[in-house]
Structure 1
Amino acid sequence: MKLVVLGANGRTGSHVVREALERGATVTAVVRSDAKRLAIRHDRLSVAVGDPCDPEFLAGVFRGQDAVISTLGGRRPTKRATSIYYRSADAIVEAASQTDVRKILVTSSALLFPPRRLLDRLLTVIVRRVVQSATRMEHKLRAANLDVIVARCGFLTDSEERRYRAERGSLPADGSSVARLGLALFLVDTVQNSWSGHQVCGVSGPRDHERSPK
């Protein structure tokens, strides 16, 4: 499989790159600048430097590829930072229309699911720009003629927990967080499968009593 990873130098994206390479994929890692190149070296890894919100740049990267995984997201809940969600979606859709790429996986926020707790409602207000931008991203991808899987997740952690739970259409019970490594494994597991249309999956880590000992 030939795979493009957007946000490849991020904490989730770097896990995606490593896992995909370990499984035999040929990976093109997209980074914004030479300063953000990955420390990873591999004969099946190439790096494309450019703006992931530029459709012409992405079209050049997408040609000849099988699928795209985007782990892009705002590092802060500001209007400018969170706009990466919908600006990258606009570029992905336009670039895909110029190429043969149809399989797209993106990460999003579990706050787009109906709130289960008072805390969820409060967070929706506190990080409303994340919710608004991620919603706009999802609407753009849903309207496109592409095979899309949206991975909605809650808090991301840096633990070494590899296990995850995924549920179509909702967040798994008691699923408030997931390790970035676990999310990356979900994305790589999923991209290797066949699917069509637009799907939304909630992704979380195992329940507390199931977690791996440290």
Structure 2
Amino acid sequence: MKLVLFGATGHIGHAILDEALARGHDVTAVVRETARLKSTHPRLHVVEGAVEETSLWLAYAKHADAVIAAISPRRNGTTDTLPNAAQTLLDTLDGTNLKRLLWVGGAGSLETAPGVTVLDDPQFPDAWKPEAQAHTRALDVFRASKAHVDWTFISPAAVIEDGERTGRYRVGGDQLLVDAKGVSRIAVPDYAAALLDQLDNKDTFRKRITVAY
């Protein structure tokens, strides 16, 4: 497949890039600073730009099979980045033949009980709240959208960390997945694999899912 990937210089985005190339996909990585992406590969094309600069990447998206967004508001410090980017992608892709969009979401909006989210936990770190709230707003944008785009919002486990790729994971919906010990976690390489497994999965079209061990 031909993929357009935003956020390939980030930790999760880079893992998605590595996994996509390992699977034989052609990737156009759209990054704010090309110098920050050290990877080289015959099937990797790098474009300098950002989601809001649609004129810089739209031509590539029109010839792609899917767009993947692994972006973060951390670098510019504004929580509007994520919901605005979600809206821009939905509005822009709605006018093209490309209909598949995968979004790297957050875990904060997952439910731990009916009506209670991870973000509601008093132990949730204050430093993480702005980004978690931004991801929640982005999810609201997707759910309210009338765009003809088959999006999937993919929330990780409560803890996503470095680790070995096992190829094993479970898929859930809006509820936080925990293991037999009550722990919710996944390694970054397995999250990347789980995300790319959704490219052709019609069961996850226009839904939020979560992946964890």
TM-score by length of 1: 0.82
Higher helix content, 1 or 2: 1
Residue matched to 2:169: 164
Percent identity among equivalent residues? 27
Alignment of 1:4-153 (within 5 A): 4-37=4-37, 39-75=38-74, 80=78, 82-116=79-113, 121-122=121-122, 126=126, 127-142=128-143, 143=145, 144-153=147-156
| 1:149 maps to amino acid | T
CA shift, 1:52, in A, is: 2.0
| 1:61 maps to amino acid | Y
C-alpha distance in 2 between matches for 1:40 and 1:125: 33
Are 1:185 and 2:193 an aligned pair? yes
CA shift, 1:123, in A, is: 5.1
C-alpha distance in 2 between matches for 1:15 and 1:94: 27
C-alpha distance in 2 between matches for 1:118 and 1:138: 14
Residue matched to 1:210: none
| 2:176 maps to amino acid | L
Q: Which residue, out of 133, 156, 159, partners 1:155?
A: 159
> Aligned pairs, how many?
202
Are 1:176 and 2:200 an aligned pair? no
SS for the counterpart of 1:17 is helix
Q: CA RMSD of the aligned region, Å?
A: 2.5
C-alpha distance in 1 between matches for 2:74 and 2:184: 19
Distance change >3 Å, CA 119–CA 183, structure 1 → 2: closer
CA shift, 1:180, in A, is: 1.2
Kept in 2: contact 1:149–1:201 (CA 8 A): yes
C-alpha distance in 1 between matches for 2:48 and 2:170: 33
190-199 or 137-146, which deviates more: 190-199
Unaligned runs of 5+ in 1: 207-214
SS for the counterpart of 1:48 is strand
| 1:101 maps to amino acid | L
Map Cα deviations across residues 127-158 of structure 1 (whole Å, 9 max, x no partner): 44223311221122221321111111222211
Kept in 2: contact 1:104–1:149 (CA 8 A): yes
SS for the counterpart of 2:122 is helix
SS for the counterpart of 1:30 is strand
CA shift, 1:3, in A, is: 0.7
Kept in 1: contact 2:108–2:133 (CA 8 A): no
Distance change >3 Å, CA 197–CA 34, structure 1 → 2: closer
Kept in 1: contact 2:83–2:134 (CA 8 A): yes
Distance change >3 Å, CA 118–CA 12, structure 1 → 2: closer
SS for the counterpart of 1:109 is coil
CA shift, 1:115, in A, is: 3.3
| 2:134 maps to amino acid | S
Unaligned runs of 5+ in 2: none
